[in-house]
Amino acid sequence: MTTYVCLLVAALLPLTAQAQGAQSSGGGLEDLPVPSWGKKVIDSFDNPLHPIIGGVVSGGGLGVGVGYDSPDDQQWYREGDAIVTLRRYWLLQGEFGRRSRSKRSQLGAFGAVRDMNRIDFFGIGPASAFADRSAFSLRESTVGARGWHRPVPAFRLGGSAALYVSDVGVGANQSVPSIEQRFAESTVPGGFSVERTFGRYRGFVELMYPAVADITDQEQLNESDKYRGTYQLALESVRDHGDGRFNFHRWESEMQQRIPGFRSGQLLTLHSFFAWTNPGDEVPYYLQYALGGSGGLKAFRPDLIGSDGTRATLRGFRNYRFRDRNALLMQAEYRIPLHRSIHSSVFVDSGQVAPRVPQLFDNLHTSTGFSLSYVHKGRTLGRMDVGFGGGEGVQVFWSFGVFD
């Protein structure tokens, strides 16, 4: 971990010194001596057809690809991404549809194929053991339609209907056993080598205050972002088109509240996620909620809000460390800008998974840590999170997000 931190600090120190010099003279990062080819590379990510640097899912490694996004002023929109990572994960996805001139509604059709050849699995339940680490593979194919509408600027209604095909297989990670070598198939709902087809139907309501559409002045918009709150409630119904064994319904609630810090530019973000499945419903292990590491929930909640510029969960544990039918996550993150583009954060993550909702509040898993981020035009392009306190060593997560 020390090596990672030293490398990042060494890379950022020259930039920090230059940026502080630019700020002291009244300028910003735009005044820094950036080569013309460097500006062209950075600007290329804002083009409709642009390169992508990012990932497919947590643990899949850094990936590169190409994407296309229609200009914002076009009513008929088209979006598409193609990504492949160093660990041979890959993703193909696209969407086309129409949005209103007022940008208060949108309706589109989408499709995606995502291939993940080695996802960590530690067992099911809050007491899963790190020593039982194993791996499985999963290819997901999805096609469907989704849309949303804002009857008023602060309120949004939306939903989706999709056909979802899961192709589950044994793990391809040579450093850990495959899932069938560590667990009996009878103890893991969903099977080890099986393909299933599901219908997934989802609806959500969202409240945001203050609403972005109510603010036209950029200075007021930046100020409002310091204390904006976003609240969501969603219901998902999943139908197993095979034997019907895995029909289930689940509810999800999420909140993110941003609060100004003690000094200008500092920010406190409070985030919570609470999800519960109807009692008695059985959920395949690859569709159960997962906590741990730099992500996990995004795979199940497509409109996840997340914490302050991240969708990480329990950063003192490995990716997908805990899985079950119900999940609780609470996070507090305090951001301190070091200068205009380099931000640091300290955080506390606490959460739990369980087969029954009352058990979510027993023996919460808690971790703390810090992060360093590079921010460009309001977007986090690169981030390093260091988490500890989980009793399983120091965890370091790198994330890159040059998507649009």
Q: What is the pLDDT of residues 93-152, one digit of tens each?
A: 999 999 998 889 999 999 999 999 999 999 999 999 999 999 999 999 999 999 999 999
pLDDT > 60? residue 350: yes
Share of the chain residues as helix, strand and coil, in percent rounded to the nearest 5: 15, 50, 35
pLDDT confidence of residue 35: 64
In sequence order, what are the residues at sequence separation of 6 or more whose Cβ sits closer than 8 angstroms to the Cβ of residue 271?
A: 254, 255, 256, 257, 305, 306, 307, 308, 329, 330, 331, 332, 333
Whole-number pLDDT of residue 398 = 86
Predicted confidence band at 167 (pLDDT cuts at 50, 70, 90)? very high
Question: Rounded to an integer, what distance in angstroms lies between the CA atom of residue 336 and that of residue 400?
Answer: 20
Taking 60 as the threshold, does the pLDDT of residue 32 lie above it? no
Q: Is the pLDDT of residue 255 over 60?
A: yes
The reported pLDDT for the residue numbered 47 is 84
- How confident is residue 7, by pLDDT bands cut at 50, 70 and 90? very low
As a whole number, the mean pLDDT across the chain is: 85
**Cis peptide leading into residue 210 (ω within 30°):** yes
Q: Are 196 and 165 in contact (CB under 8 A)?
A: yes
Length of the chain: 404
pLDDT level of residue 57 (50, 70, 90 thresholds): confident
Domain residue limits, the chain: 106-400
Q: What is the pLDDT confidence band of residue 73, given thresholds at 50, 70 and 90?
A: confident
User: Which pLDDT score is estimated for 42?
Assistant: 65
Q: For the domain bounded by 106-400, which CATH number is listed?
A: 2.40.160.50
Using 50, 70 and 90 to split pLDDT, how confident is the model at 60? Answer: confident
Q: Measured between alpha carbons, how far is 92 from 83 in angstroms, rounded to an integer?
A: 7
According to the model, what pLDDT value does residue 378 have?
Answer: 67
DSSP H or E stretch at residue 3: helix 2-24
DSSP H or E stretch at residue 181 = helix 179-182
The DSSP symbol for 400 reads E
| DSSP label at residue 278 | P
pLDDT tens, position by position, 298-346: 766 777 889 988 889 999 999 999 999 999 999 999 999 998 789 999 9
Q: What is the DSSP letter of 402?
A: B
Q: Dihedral through CA 97, CA 72, CA 56, CA 249, nearest 10? A: -50
Using the predicted structure, report yes or no on whether residue 156 has a pLDDT greater than 90: yes
pLDDT in tens, 203-237: 999 999 887 654 444 444 444 456 789 999 999 99
Instruction: Kindly state the helix (H) or strand (E) to which residue 182 belongs, with its residue range.
Output: helix 179-182
